[in-house]
Amino acid sequence: MNYTFFLLLLTLVHSTFSSLAPTDQAALESIRDSLTDMPGSAFFSTWDFTTPDPCSTFAGLTCTSLGRVSALSLGPNLSGSLSPSISNLTHLTQLVLYPGLVTGPLPPRFDTLPLLRVISLTRNRLTGPIPNSFSSLSYLHTLDLSYNQLSGSLPPFLTTLPRLKVLVLASNRFSDNVKPVSSPLLHLDLKTNQISGQLPPLFPTTLRYLSLAGNSISGAIIPLEPLTDLTYIDLSMNRFTGAIPQSLFGSTTTSMFLQRNNFTSINATSLSMLPQGSVVDLSHNSISGELPPSLAGAESLFLNNNRFTGEIPEEYIKSLVNGTTKTLFLQHNYLTRFPWSSGTQLPDSVSLCLSYNCMDTDPVVGLSTCPIEVAPLLSRPAIQCSRFYNHSSTG
C-alpha cells in the first residue's frame, strides 16, 4: 500500500514539474509539421514527442515549472512555414527564428500572446504584412523582422507600443511613410525598404541608433534636431534636403552616414568636437560654405563631391599629422588652398584625397590614396572655378 502510494506520488510530481501541457504539445507538433530541416541541419533531431519530458530535451525550448512553453527558438537552416498554432503557446515570452528559408506570412494571431517581450524572425523569406494583432503586444521590448520579404505600409501601432525599445524592419519591402513615434525606442532600423514621404514631426529623445538608409524619404531632417544622444545615424541614399542640424554632431556621435542626399548646408555655428574614432560621411550632397574646423576630430571624414569653398582649415592638417584623422576625402569640391608646410610628413596610415578642387595640389600629397574612380585631373579646370566663384559672389 505504501509502495503504491509512493509510486503514485512520484508520477504526480513528474507530471506537475516535468510534463508539457497538452495544449502546448499540440502546438509544438503543428509547428514541427510545418517546418523541415534543410540539408546539413539536425535541429529537429531532439524533437521526439514520445519522450516524457520535452521541456528538458527539445532543442530551442524553455518551459515554466508548470510545463508551459515560455521561450521558443527555431533553427537555424529550416524551411517551410510558420504554423498559426504558435498563437496557442499563450505563456510565450520569446519567439526566435534563426536564418533559413522559411516562407509564407506571419502567424495572424499574436493577440493571444500577451507576455511576449522578444520577437526575432530574421533572414528568412517571410512575406505579407505585419498582422494587426501586433498592436496588443504591450510588453514587447524587441521586434526584429529584418531581411525578409515583408511588405505593406508601416503599421502605425508598431511605433506606439508602450515598452518597445528595439525595432528592426531593415531589408524588407515596406512602403508608405514613417509613422509618428511615441514608443521609448533606443534602436530604430528601417533601412533598405521602399519608404517615402517626409519624416514625422517627433522622434523619441531616447534614440541612440537610427538608420533610415536606402529609402526614398524626402524633406528636411529638422525633426531629428532634438536627438542629441545619438551614437549612430544613417540617412544615406535618400532624398533629404536643407541643412544638417548642428545637434547631430554631438559628443556622443561615433558614426554618421548622410551621404548621397541633397543636403545644402551644415548649421555649424558652434559644433562640438567629434569623439575620437568617429566616422562622418557627408559625401555626394550639395553642401556649400567653408569646411567646419570641428569636423577635424573624425577618424574617417568623407566630404567629397560637394560644393565646399575656401581654404582647408589648419585643424584638418594637424589632425592628419598627429594621426587622429586617418582618412580625409575632399575631392570634387571648390577648395582653394591646402596649407601644407614643406617637409611635413604624413603617417603611412593616412589616406588623403584632394583632387579636382580649385587649387594646385602636390600629386604625392593629394592623389596618392584617392579612390580609383576619381578623375585623373589634379585640379578643376580654371574656367569651372572662375564661373563658380563669380556666380557665388553675385548670387
Which pLDDT does position 9 carry in this prediction? 41
User: Does residue 4 surpass a pLDDT of 50?
Assistant: no
Which stretch of 57-61, 176-180, 267-271 has the lowest confidence by average pLDDT? 267-271
Strands 69-74 and 94-97 come out as: parallel
Which pLDDT does position 118 carry in this prediction? 98
Mean pLDDT to the nearest integer, 364-375: 66
Cell of 114: 500577451
- 216-226 confidence digits (pLDDT tens): 999 999 999 99
Which pLDDT does position 365 carry in this prediction? 59
Query: In this prediction, what percent of the chain has a pLDDT beyond 70?
Result: 91
- 252-274 confidence digits (pLDDT tens): 999 999 999 999 999 866 667 78
d(CA 239, CA 54): 53
pLDDT band at 375 (very low <50, low <70, confident <90, very high): low
Mean pLDDT to the nearest integer, 328-353: 89
Which pLDDT does position 2 carry in this prediction? 53
User: Does residue 389 surpass a pLDDT of 90?
Assistant: no
Which pLDDT does position 377 carry in this prediction? 66
Mean pLDDT to the nearest integer, 26-54: 97
Please name the CATH architecture into which domain 104-214+234-252 falls: Alpha-Beta Horseshoe (3.80)
Which stretch of 64-78, 129-143, 289-303, 381-395 has the lowest confidence by average pLDDT? 381-395
Which pLDDT does position 28 carry in this prediction? 98
Mean pLDDT over the full length of the chain: 91
d(CA 101, CA 78): 6
User: Does residue 106 surpass a pLDDT of 50?
Assistant: yes
Residue partners of 139: CB distance under 8 A and separation at least 6:
114, 115, 116, 117, 163
pLDDT band at 395 (very low <50, low <70, confident <90, very high): low
Which pLDDT does position 251 carry in this prediction? 85
CATH 3.80.10.10: which residues of the chain? 19-95, 104-214+234-252
Cell of 200: 514625422
Is the overall model pTM greater than 0.95, yes or no? no
Residue partners of 128: CB distance under 8 A and separation at least 6:
104, 105, 106, 150, 151, 152
- 125-159 confidence digits (pLDDT tens): 999 999 999 999 999 999 999 999 999 999 999 99
User: Does residue 376 surpass a pLDDT of 80?
Assistant: no
The CATH code of domain 19-95 reads 3.80.10.10
Residue 368: closest CA among 387, 349, 389: 349
Burial (CB count <10 Å: 0-12, 13-18, 19+), residue 225: middle
User: What secondary structure, in 3-state letters, does the chain show?
Assistant: CHHHHHHHHHHHHHHHHCCCCHHHHHHHHHHHHHEEECCCCCHHHHCCCCCCCHHHHCCCEEECCCCCEEEEEECCCEEEECCHHHHHCCCCCEEEECCCEEEECCCCCCCCCCCCCEEEECCCEEEECCCHHHHHCCCCCEEECCCCEEEEECCCCHHHCCCCCEEECCCCEEEECCCCCCCCCCEEECCCCEECCECCCCCCCCCCEEECCCCCCEECCHHHCCCCCCCEEECCCCEEEEEECHHHCCCCCCEEECCCCEEEEECCCCCCCCCCCCEEECCCCCCEEECCHHHHHCCEEECCCCEEEEECCHHHHHHHHCCCCCEEECCCCEEEECCCCCCCCCCCCCEEECCCECCCCCHHHHCCCCCCCCCCCCECCHHHHHHHHHHHHHC
Which pLDDT does position 5 carry in this prediction? 46
Mean pLDDT to the nearest integer, 173-188: 96
